[in-house]
Structure 1
Amino acid sequence: MKPYIICHMMSSIDGHALTDGWDRAFKKNAGELYEKLAEQFKFDAWLCGRVTMQEIAHGEGYAKGLAQGPIPREHYFAERNADKYAISIDPHGKVEWKSNQALDSHVVQVLAEGVSDDYLAYLQSIQVSYVFGGKSEIDLGLVVELLARELGIERLCVEGGPLVSGSFVNAGLVDEVSVVILPLVDGRGAHPASFEVPEQAWQQPAYLSLVSAEVQDGGAVWLRYKKP
């Protein structure tokens, strides 16, 4: 059994999700609106990819040589009763956490089995939980079922970036899509869309039904969709 999964994104009118280059005050207001709307989903876990989590972690490296020998590739749970979990998709173990908390949520790293023993020892030393999602690539379906079974997660909010969000939708795991359309045109063609999938992994379009459309203060529009 998997959690109920909401994919919550924000983008410009032309569908771009990265905020670099946007006016600082505009970006701040957009971020506050995005987080306020996300709270309405009452989720018990939120999930981001490596790039986003690196920005949150503000890592400065980690001590090498902590592993005293090979560490079994077994799931490690430092906390099973957290009020909220921060799920980090990081196959190769690159996010450098300073503690086991991210935005008042207990961190759970999702890793591939090829990650180094030193990285696992480092996570254990700061009590960051971790699970293995595959040998070299992450099986998202397996991961979400594992999170539900082991940690009791019932509602999971996927918050990007574009590749992570696109991968969840492409895998057919998302129950609801939420997009905050902001009142600006980005115009940079090379910038990622809100949902990105590697061409070789693309399955088929995801057809959705509109649930609601709400105009927000400042001119943004909040769109919510579910599977038909």
Structure 2
Amino acid sequence: MGHNLPKVIITTTASIDGRITLSRDARLIQPEAARRWATMKPDGADELLGSRRAEHGATVTIEGSGSFVDDDGPPIVLPNPELPESELRRDVIPRRTPLWFVVADSRGRVDWSFTGDDTTSLLILVCDATPLGYLQLLRDKGISYLNAGREQVDLEEGLAKIAATLGAHTVVADSGGTFNAALLRAGLVDEIDVVILPGLIGGTGTPSIMDGNPLGSTGLPIRTELIDAQITPTGMVRTRYRVINESGPKAEQRV
């Protein structure tokens, strides 16, 4: 598409067996799930994760709506649209802050209580199929949103809008395995930064670093190249990989 795209880095924290949460229905934003997850974290874990965040220098963090709600969860109550459709479909940035927390939510599934603070603004990526009532809800709450895509959020278009509208050069994706897979298979990721905690979780269907649909019969693994590996005295391992994109907007240029 010729979009000017930001650098995209997937950052994730996982168990030895690659699990990024405790079970399919456990989200680490839930206090009890977070407490149980923290039993795997040795001394220095929070410092390592905090320094990683600062090291990348990203002004935008992006996640999918699945980090906050179940796929089959009940729909939220939406207000009746008060503004014309043409107005509601328009991109809206009611305020600007140094940092942005972006969530892709095609179906309008998350009813936000957090809308931002003095340093961070919430921004939702929506699409042409997002219910008008949800856009009205975002307007009513003063939440920014950008329209990208028709039936669902077009991640390439959304990232291009983030770069152009917010002036973002680097975006960190700190999300679930399904959203990670969508970014990777679209060829949008430049780097993966994984911190492995010294613990095991297991469980069929427990979310992992990369989920989504299985590879097709002719599909190939996404290749990577090691940038750096670090082992801490307390048993954590941090690895960084460059993604070798064979196709998509960030495909390797071949002579």
What TM-score, normalized to structure 1? 0.85
2:196 to 174, 181, 185: 181
- 1:211 is matched with which residue? 227
Distance, in Å, in 2 between the alignment partners of 1:102 and 1:166 is 30
RMSD: 2.7
1:106 to 117, 121, 126: 121
- 1:45 is matched with which residue? 60
Bigger shift: residues 150-159 or 192-201: 192-201
Shift of 1:198: 1.9
Does residue 1:76 correspond to 2:79, yes or no? no
Change (3 A) 1:99 1:180: closer
Shift of 1:33: 4.3
Large movers: runs of 4+ above 4 Å: 27-33, 200-203
1:32-77 CA distance string (max 9 Å, x none): 643442221110100011132459xxxxx66623x22542222111
Does residue 1:26 correspond to 2:39, yes or no? yes
Distance, in Å, in 2 between the alignment partners of 1:150 and 1:203 is 35
Native 8 Å contact 2:176 2:208 kept in 1: no
Bigger shift: residues 210-219 or 40-49: 210-219
Native 8 Å contact 2:63 2:102 kept in 1: yes
Write the letter of the residue equivalent to 2:36.
D
Native 8 Å contact 1:53 1:88 kept in 2: no
- 1:192 is matched with which residue? 207
Gaps of 5+ in 2: 27-32, 71-75, 245-255
Shift of 1:98: 2.3
Native 8 Å contact 1:84 1:106 kept in 2: yes
1:86 to 93, 101, 105: 101
- 2:236 is matched with which residue? 220
- 1:148 is matched with which residue? 163
Native 8 Å contact 2:191 2:240 kept in 1: yes
Gaps of 5+ in 1: 56-60
- 1:58 is matched with which residue? none
- 2:252 is matched with which residue? none
- 1:13 is matched with which residue? 16
Shift of 1:28: 6.5
Native 8 Å contact 1:170 1:204 kept in 2: no
Q: How many residues align?
A: 221
What TM-score, normalized to structure 2? 0.77
